[in-house]
């Protein structure tokens, strides 16, 4: 009952597909395709028409109109948050996404891209008065901060080049902050720079166009047929010079666009670049990340331990106000997420310095901010471990020392602390291993430790599993010896009880 019609439907779909769509299908009866993009501050891609807020303008609006004509099918615009375009597409909220979406290896895995419709490059923009920065290398050398848009090729390039970055949710704000001096440069796609920065006399382009890439239209993987129609339509638009017309109208045409007519396919290009990430190419980068992880862990722990002992002693033996101070410290730093603390130290402090016109900029280097954040956070935990450890030594030991004429300091140093260390050691090494893995969250302030390195490499090479396993192995190679070290120390210090 069910099977027969199903098979019949399959056959009907398979055989006469092409001619049906091209010729016979009544164009008006097909439902319009839903096209998602983010029109918020989205010029020159798509934004509201200043003359008539009910309409949208932009080169992608013109491109959609040309495609509509070419395909004989209506395309309807849907407003959608830029960051969620890929997930929204996969959820089926709309049929296609076209919004300056850069073709990247990780996205190729997730969606079916059409052939490219624009070759973008990245353009560095600085203030007109700027003299030090002439290229992206200068930014790296000077430790300059560069603004960019979240989850774009530009952001990834800044990460790869270890350039300190400031990431924005839309493309207008970076240029505003650049003018105000909050960032030293802005790296974004050329169409954005052309539209938002070139007309601004306070800003200028510097350096060559960097790292060209493609914009393409994204479909769901199972929409092969529809995507193929768009491929063909885009090819025709390129051959006919329609694309050039549109881009020239928006002042974004350049020589790079000529390759669009050559019909190069993005997937091949990307698979080729993925193959180049061999073990001996990515492993040294992972090792670099691992070294950063170890450095972060031990520096933070050293800071935490140094802070924790005075805090514990203040809580145990200080006069009431000092005790209260130490308690507030512990409760505060134990009570806030370390992520929030890192954000505050890295992004918040400079804002405070600026707002109150402090004589220091408080712009911490990412690694310093990370060590400080973890150090302050773990000091709270360590202080509690120390406090309970020290308090667990019977008061009789203090009295025995006192009756021998020893001073309080001496009793603490020679009698109490050596015994307390045995109590303190196991939970402390536990903390160390926890910290070791916690460091993976510092990627949010652009520190490239092991996990961040993995993310970058995996996205660039598509070898999620292979590089993931190597990364996990590196973590284990480091954390297992830590566990052994702690057991060894417990045995060594545990003797005599």
Partner 1 sequence: MNADMQVAISHLTKRFGQRLVLDDVSLEIDAGQTVALIGPSGAGKSTLLRSINGLNTFDEGEIRVGSHTLLPNRSHHGCPGARQVRRLLGMIFQDFQLFPHLTAIENIMEAPRCVLGLSPADAHQRAMRLLDRVGLGDRAGAYPQELSGGQKQRVAIARAMAMEPRGLLCDEITSALDPELKGEVLAVLEDLKREGLTLILVTHEIGFARRAADRVVVLAEGRIVEDGPPGQVLDEPQMPRTQQFLSQMLI
- By CB under 8 A, tell whether 222 contacts partner 1: no
Q: Which of 407, 434, 468, 485 binds partner 1 (CB under 8 A)?
A: 407
- By CB under 8 A, tell whether 322 contacts partner 1: no
Pairing mode of beta strands 218-219, 112-113: antiparallel
* Alpha-carbon distances, residue 354 vs 173, 417, 467 (angstroms): 18, 44, 42
Q: Which stretch binds partner 1 (CB under 8 A): 217-225, 280-288, 384-392, 402-410?
A: 402-410
Task: Provide, rounded to whole angstroms, the least separation between the CB of residue 407 and partner 1.
Answer: 7
Closer to partner 1 by Cβ: residue 317 or 332: 317
- By CB under 8 A, tell whether 320 contacts partner 1: no
- By CB under 8 A, tell whether 495 contacts partner 1: yes
- By CB under 8 A, tell whether 392 contacts partner 1: no
- By CB under 8 A, tell whether 399 contacts partner 1: yes
Pairing mode of beta strands 185-189, 112-113: unpaired
Q: Which of 13, 404, 434, 485 binds partner 1 (CB under 8 A)?
A: 404
Q: How many whole angstroms separate alpha carbon 359 and alpha carbon 361?
A: 7
Pairing mode of beta strands 185-189, 146-149: parallel
3-state secondary structure of 443: helix
User: How many CB atoms are located within 10 Å of the residue 31 CB?
Assistant: 9
Sheet strand arrangement including 218-219 = 75-79, 33-37, 96-97, 218-219, 112-113
Closer to partner 1 by Cβ: residue 206 or 421: 421
- By CB under 8 A, tell whether 396 contacts partner 1: yes
Interface positions, 419-438, toward partner 1 (CB under 8 A): 419, 422
Pairing mode of beta strands 118-127, 185-189: antiparallel
Q: How many whole angstroms separate alpha carbon 245 and alpha carbon 239?
A: 12
Q: How many whole angstroms separate alpha carbon 157 and alpha carbon 210?
A: 10
3-state secondary structure of 124: strand
Q: Which stretch binds partner 1 (CB under 8 A): 262-270, 305-313, 395-403, 478-486?
A: 395-403
- By CB under 8 A, tell whether 199 contacts partner 1: no
Q: At what angle do helices 366-391 and 417-438 cross, to 10 degrees?
A: 150
Q: Which of 334, 410, 437, 459 binds partner 1 (CB under 8 A)?
A: 410
Closer to partner 1 by Cβ: residue 362 or 402: 402
Count of residues for the chain? 497
Closer to partner 1 by Cβ: residue 10 or 317: 317
Q: How many whole angstroms separate alpha carbon 428 and alpha carbon 381?
A: 9
Task: Provide, rounded to whole angstroms, the least separation between the CB of residue 381 and partner 1.
Answer: 25
- By CB under 8 A, tell whether 400 contacts partner 1: yes
Contacts with partner 1 by CB under 8 A: the residue count is: 22
Residues that bind partner 1 in the complex, under the rule CB under 8 A: 394, 396-397, 399-408, 410, 414-415, 418-419, 422, 495-497
């Amino acid at each position: 009952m069910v099977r027969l019609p199903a098979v019949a439907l399959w056959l009907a779909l398979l055989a006469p597909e092409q001619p049906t769509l091209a010729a016979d299908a009544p164009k008006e009866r097909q439902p319009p395709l839903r096209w998602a993009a983010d029109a918020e501050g989205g010029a020159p891609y798509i934004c509201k028409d200043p003359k008539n807020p009910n309409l949208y303008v932009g080169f992608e609006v013109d491109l959609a109109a040309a495609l509509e004509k070419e395909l004989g099918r209506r395309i309807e615009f849907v407003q959608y948050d830029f960051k969620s375009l890929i997930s929204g597409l996969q959820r089926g909220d709309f049929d296609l996404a076209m919004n300056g979406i850069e073709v990247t290896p990780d996205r190729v895995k997730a969606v079916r891209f059409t052939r490219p419709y624009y070759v973008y490059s990245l353009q560095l923009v600085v203030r007109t008065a700027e003299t030090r920065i002439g290229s992206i290398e200068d930014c790296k050398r000077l430790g300059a901060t560069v603004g960019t848009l979240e989850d774009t090729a530009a952001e990834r390039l800044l990460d790869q080049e270890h350039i300190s970055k400031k990431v924005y949710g839309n493309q207008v704000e970076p240029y505003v902050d650049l003018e105000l001096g909050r960032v030293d440069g802005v790296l974004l796609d050329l169409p954005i720079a052309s539209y938002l920065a070139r007309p601004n006399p306070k800003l200028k382009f510097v350096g060559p166009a960097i790292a060209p890439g493609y914009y393409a239209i994204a479909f769901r993987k199972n929409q092969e047929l529809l995507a193929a129609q768009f491929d063909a339509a885009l090819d025709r638009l390129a051959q006919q010079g329609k694309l050039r017309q549109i881009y020239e109208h928006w002042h974004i045409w350049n020589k790079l666009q000529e390759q669009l007519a050559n019909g190069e396919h993005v997937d091949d290009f990307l698979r080729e670049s993925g193959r180049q990430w061999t073990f001996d190419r990515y492993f040294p980068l992972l090792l670099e990340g691992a070294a950063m992880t170890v450095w972060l862990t031990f520096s933070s722990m050293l800071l935490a331990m140094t802070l924790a002992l005075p805090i514990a002693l203040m809580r145990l033996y200080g006069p009431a106000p000092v005790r209260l101070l130490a308690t507030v410290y512990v409760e505060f730093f134990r009570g806030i997420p370390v992520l929030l603390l890192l954000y505050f130290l890295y992004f918040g402090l400079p804002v405070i310095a600026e707002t109150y016109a402090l004589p220091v900029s408080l712009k911490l280097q990412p690694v310093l901010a990370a060590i400080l954040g973890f150090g302050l956070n773990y000091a709270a935990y360590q202080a509690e471990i120390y406090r309970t450890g020290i308090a667990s030594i019977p008061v009789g030991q203090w009295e025995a020392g006192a009756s021998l004429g020893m001073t309080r300091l001496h009793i603490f140093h020679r009698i109490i602390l050596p015994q307390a260390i045995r109590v303190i050691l196991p939970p402390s090494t536990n903390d160390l291993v926890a910290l070791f893995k916690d460091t993976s969250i510092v990627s949010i302030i652009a520190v490239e430790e092991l996990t961040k390195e993995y993310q970058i490499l995996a996205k660039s090479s598509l070898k999620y599993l292979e590089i993931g396993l190597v990364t996990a192995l590196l973590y284990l190679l480091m954390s297992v010896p830590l566990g052994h070290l702690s057991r060894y120390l417990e045995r060594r210090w545990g003797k005599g009880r």
